[in-house]
Amino acid sequence: MAPVHSLAKHSSSAVDVTSCFTQVRDFWDFCSAAVCYCELIKRKIERSQPGHNPKTLTVQLCIALNNIEHVRVFLGNLPRDLDWRGLEQAMEESCGAEGKEQVNKALNAQLYNVDMDLQREAKRMNTHLTDR
């Protein structure tokens, strides 16, 4: 092992690992932010419906559901956009197959959960707003 540079007291593998962890940490924030976004647009529609005009509600609901789908598709592209394969490779080089597998499971679990959360929020919004 050799330090990253003369002023550092850690090697490049520590940088690789913390880079992996940073991506995982940031991804968790994406998940909660996406669900929060769904709640915010639902509230916005509720506040803008004083007279409950069905035509206006239908248009707003359609836009809101399309917004949720747009966010869901964007998050589904994160593995490509964040180069998860490169991340897995770096983790495997730094920590072996077990480290790679742990990162892979964590990232995929979060991706699956946010996808399910957004689908659930879309169904919930549809039900909540059309039952009014």
Residues 105-117: pLDDT tens digits? 988 998 999 999 9
pLDDT over 90 at 58, yes or no: no
| Domain CATH code at residue 22 | 1.20.58
Euclidean distance between CA atoms 109 and 102, whole angstroms: 10
Q: Is residue 124 part of a domain?
A: yes
- Range among 8-12, 56-60, 92-96 with highest mean pLDDT value: 92-96
Would you say residue 33 lies in a domain? Answer: yes
Each residue of 72-88: pLDDT tens digit?
999 899 889 888 888 88
Sign of the Cα pseudo-torsion (83, 40, 68, 110, in order) = positive
Q: Is residue 52 part of a domain?
A: yes
Query: In this structure, is residue 7 part of a structural domain?
Result: no
**What is the extent of the structural domain holding 102?**
12-130
Full DSSP string of 46-88:
HHT-SS--HHHHHHHHHHHHHHHHHHHHHHHTHHHHTTHHHHH
At residue 50, does pLDDT exceed 70?
Answer: no
Task: Report the pLDDT value the prediction gives residue 68, as an integer from 0 to 100.
Answer: 92
pLDDT score, position 123: 92
* Buried/exposed code over 62-74 (b: 16+ C-beta within 10 A; e: otherwise): eebbeebeebbee
Q: Which is more confident, 31 or 115?
A: 115
Kindly state whether residue 2 falls inside one of the protein's structural domains: no
- 3 state DSSP class of 1: coil
DSSP, collapsed to helix, strand or coil, labels residue 82 as coil
Total domain count, the chain:
1
In a domain, 113, yes or no: yes
CA atoms within a 13 Å half-sphere pointing along the CA-CB vector of 48: 15
